[in-house]
Amino acid sequence: MGPRMTPATSVPVRNYRYYDLIMAAFVCVLLCANLVGVSKAVTIGGFTFGAGNIFFPLSYLFGDVLTEVYGYARSRKVVWAGFGALAYVSVMSAVVVALPPAASWHGQEALEAVFGATWRTSMASLLGYACGEFANSVTLAKLKVKTQGRFLWMRTIGSTVVGEAADTLVFYPLAFFGTWSNELLLTVMMGNYALKVAWEVLATPVTYRVVAFLKKKENEDYFDRDTDFTPFSLKT
């Protein structure tokens, strides 16, 4: 028998109580916001916007909480999980809608109305989501280090301003330029962007409570001082 090899010393992996639950909640909110009400426009108080935008900003709230408590690398993993889920839903929707319906089934038009997004819209949604979420996480992580963990309200709102701008500027031109008038495109972009940012501002007290709870329960308050901010990695 040869000499016994001594295993290399490794850094212990932290186990968190709520991280997986927040990841699941993030993906759930993301999918629901992109499936339920995404094609419905509503008008409230003279302000017209997509119904899905009422709930979509929740994903940015989860993104802020994840980055603030667990750090950018773990938040990045959740962003990729959401991206994979959205990609799967887009492919599944396209396949299901394209399959020939049975002669006795009469719900094809309703199915197409709900799930019949074009590939252009689906790809724009995926790219807008990825750009927006990563911009949001990087901005919050860098601001946390720069402010030494102070002014949480400024960091969450500031990162949402940047992230939602990236999402809006990528998604709407890619999805609708040339099919909508330039005036309508700009109006919808500005209206939905304002709604999403306002949502984050109103949710700030909730964000404070959730962050404080998680930091205490998880015994974690991560600072990304030496973090590699590349989006193309799943290392935590």
| pLDDT number for residue 233 | 93
pLDDT tens-place string over residues 9-30: 444 577 899 999 999 999 999 8
Burial of 35 (0-12, 13-18, 19+ CB in 10 A): middle
pLDDT tens per residue across span 138-155? 999 999 999 999 999 999
pLDDT of residue 167: 94
- The residue range of the domain holding 140 is 19-38+50-98+111-218
- Residue-wise pLDDT for 168-214, tens only, equals 999 989 988 998 889 888 888 888 899 889 999 999 999 999 999 99
Residue 43 lies in a domain: no
Burial of 22 (0-12, 13-18, 19+ CB in 10 A): buried
Classify residue 54 by its DSSP letter.
G
* Strand ranges inside the chain, DSSP E: 41-44, 47-50
Percent of the chain with pLDDT over 90: 62
Residue at 135 is within a domain: yes
Number of domains in the chain: 1
Asked if residue 7 belongs to a domain, the reply is no
Q: Does residue 101 surpass a pLDDT of 90?
A: yes
Q: What global pTM score does this model have?
A: 0.88
